[in-house]
Chain A
Amino acid sequence: MSQVAEQIYEKRLHPFTLLYRFIVALPNAALPIIFVLYSGNTGEWVYIFISLFLGFFILPGILLNYFYFDYTITDKEVVIKSGVLSKKERHIKIDRIQNVTITQNFLHKLMRIAKVQLETAGDATTEGNLDSVSIVDSERIREIIRNHQHGKSKVDTNRFSNENGETVEKTVEEEENVIFSMSLWDTIKYGAVRFRPIVLVASAWIFSLFSQFNPNWTDELELILDSGYKEYIKQLDIFSIILYIVAGVLLVLLFSWILDILLTVNTYHRFKLVSEKGKLLTSQGLFSSQKGAIPLKKLQMMVIKSNPITRKLNFYRLDLQTAGFGGGDGTKAKSETAIPFAKFSQVKEIINKIRAVVIPEIFTKVSPKSIRRAVVKYLVFSIPFGIALYFTFDSFWVLLVLLPIIGFAAYIRYQYRGYHVENNQIIVKQGFWFQKISIIPIEKIQTIHMRSSYFQRRLGLATVEIDTAATVYGNDASIIDIDIDVATEIFEELNRLFIDDKNKGKVIN
């Protein structure tokens, strides 16, 4: 078999790229319009100015960039040539390409083109970006690179595809090792139980835009404050106000619920997790389809997430956090969703395909003294709230309502915290509203810290923090509020386990 079919030589991007870039550039052209409009002169020369701007800057730029850009893919490297005045040639060795990501946003989809990103393991800046090529080409590029990396040639299938696309499509699908997929109904169910706070806030905001709220409420508030607000509050009809508030809250909740379902369907439509040699591939999305790859070698942490509602229904989410492609550059670390929504047994099954992990039924609990600390902490945090309550109801007794709530919250927090140290991994559990069970492989530890603040030390408590190359969210890998002696022990133990693990590796090598 000849290798010729497996190469792409000095190919330009898809012609629709021109149209795509022009549309994307339009908002830039809007900037001068805004300036001109604000200056007050809305004569006809505005349009002349805009067209001049477009004609002189944007269009030639897009055209030149397009015609002076080509890419070559051989069995050894990808070469991307670009530049009009200063030429640039970027060579990316095929072996060093970690990841070929194909993404499509809505415009791409309309034009049936796709954006291909080549990510390497080395420097964060050496990334190839082909925006945009046709869908067929994007698949082909991915296929070629993959085949070269695997060292085996699939020339026949590729040649075949030129003659008969459909049959090949089928064989490719059969080859895919799909380990998880979601139906539309699954996706809707998932959206129905997410209740993301961000969506709630957004819908509350949208709701407030459409409701009959007085937009000048600050002025009104000032008026009320000036005229003696206590009288004002007394003369209000409390019952109807409460009714109003309840109805408003319910409406916002309903709206946010529907919005969340729609957004979720958009993001996770036809979600599929495919296992491939050394990595997991995900594909999802309705309007903008996303394809991603999780290199298992770079996997730093696995996080199982749930909220009280999904826990009741026995549904969990699995996020995989991988280290950045930039190595030392922590900002490049990212978290990818491997399973948005599945039964706990299924999540466990898939975790076990990645790594042998036994999630314990019962975790070791943190110190009960943490309840005391949480109560104090929550009391301090609720001071502003308490002041507000005191002034609205004009009585100290109302504040007593806060106490059981705080106590209960602190207790729940304690109940839902736990950890489990094993020879090859640490599992940390925390959170009630947003529960996270984080699994950190021992060999991925970067640094270990033991921290105890003044208030913690008064209770004899400490926190053990485990830092990996992909701690995307602050405290996931922290064992918070355990006895200082236990903390010291774990701190030393983790280090010993890590060093042992490293030494074991050396012997094998």
Chain B
Amino acid sequence: MMQLNPDVKSVWTIYYIRRTLFFMVLTLALDYLALSEIPKWPFFTGFSPLVVLFIGLVTTIVMPKLKYKYWFFELRDDELYLKRGVLTKIDSIAPYCRIQHIDISQNIVERLFNLSRLVIYTAGTKGADLIIPGLPHYYAQELQNKLKEYTVEDAV
């Protein structure tokens, strides 16, 4: 069982901050435009963004650490095995012969920490996007090459 690169915690922290800010703006707009129109709304304007800020702060501090702690992957003999999740735990198996192709992708935040994401595509409809985040770029390439060897063009 392998863990992700610890730097991924910082990436996730930035994601959580971004998400918190987004929802704060959203609730602020909601507060001004809709909630304040309700005749007997018991809270002051700006209350719901504060609630969002509080929840956001807690999750931003706690979640990245927990997420990292519970994220594992393993290259077994015949299949790729992923185990992750804090509140909802998900174990996934993708047999190598089912992998159609593998992408390495990197967004701006990940580039800051020199991390990459491995996106594994199968023909499946639901779990079509198995993603291993937070891998050092060279390692992601190594994994991609390793997995590519197994990938067979298999008819559905």
Contacts and interface: CB of A to CB of B under 8 A. Distances in A.
B123 A328 contact: yes
Contacts of B124: 330, 446-447, 467-469, 471
A470 B126 CA distance: 9
Interface stretch (B29-37, B46-54, B90-98): B90-98
A472 B126 CA distance: 9
Given A328-B123, A467-B127, A447 B98 contact: yes
B90 A328 contact: no
Contacts of B95: 445, 447, 495, 498-499, 502
B149 to A, nearest CB: 16
Question: Which of B88, B122, B126, B155 has its CB near the most chain A CB atoms (within 10 A)?
Answer: B126
B40 interface: no
Contacts of A327: 100, 123, 156
Interface stretch (A39-47, A349-357, A399-407, A449-457): A449-457
B7 interface: no
A469 B156 contact: yes
A467 B125 contact: yes
Question: Which of A446, A453, A491 has its CB near the most chain B CB atoms (within 10 A)?
Answer: A446
A61 to B, nearest CB: 38
Contacts, number: 94
A51 B100 CA distance: 52
Instruction: For chain B, give the interface size range.
Output: 20 to 34
A468 B95 CA distance: 12
Contacts of A445: 95, 98
B79 A491 contact: no
A333 interface: yes
A465 interface: yes
Given A297-B155, A495-B79, A470 B93 contact: no
A73 B95 CA distance: 41
B62 interface: no
Contact of A491 (B89, B93, B125, B127): B93
Interface string B87-114: 1111111110110110000000000000
B18 to A, nearest CB: 24
A58 interface: no
B39 to A, nearest CB: 12
B88 A449 contact: no
Contacts of A297: 155
Interface in A469-507: 469-472, 474, 491, 495, 498-499, 502
B23 interface: no
Contacts of A447: 92-95, 98, 122, 124, 126-127, 130
A182 interface: no
A212 B145 CA distance: 70
Contact of A450 (B91, B97, B121): B91
Contacts of A333: 125
Nearest to A464: B91
A448 interface: yes
14 contacts: A323-B123, A328-B128, A330-B123, A447-B130, A448-B93, A449-B126, A450-B91, A467-B124, A469-B124, A491-B91, A491-B93, A495-B79, A499-B78, A499-B95
Smallest CB-CB A-B distances: 3 pairs? A446-B124, A330-B125, A467-B124
Given A323-B156, A445-B95, A502-B97, 13 more contacts: A327-B123, A328-B128, A333-B125, A448-B92, A448-B93, A465-B127, A467-B126, A471-B125, A472-B125, A491-B91, A499-B78, A499-B95, A502-B95
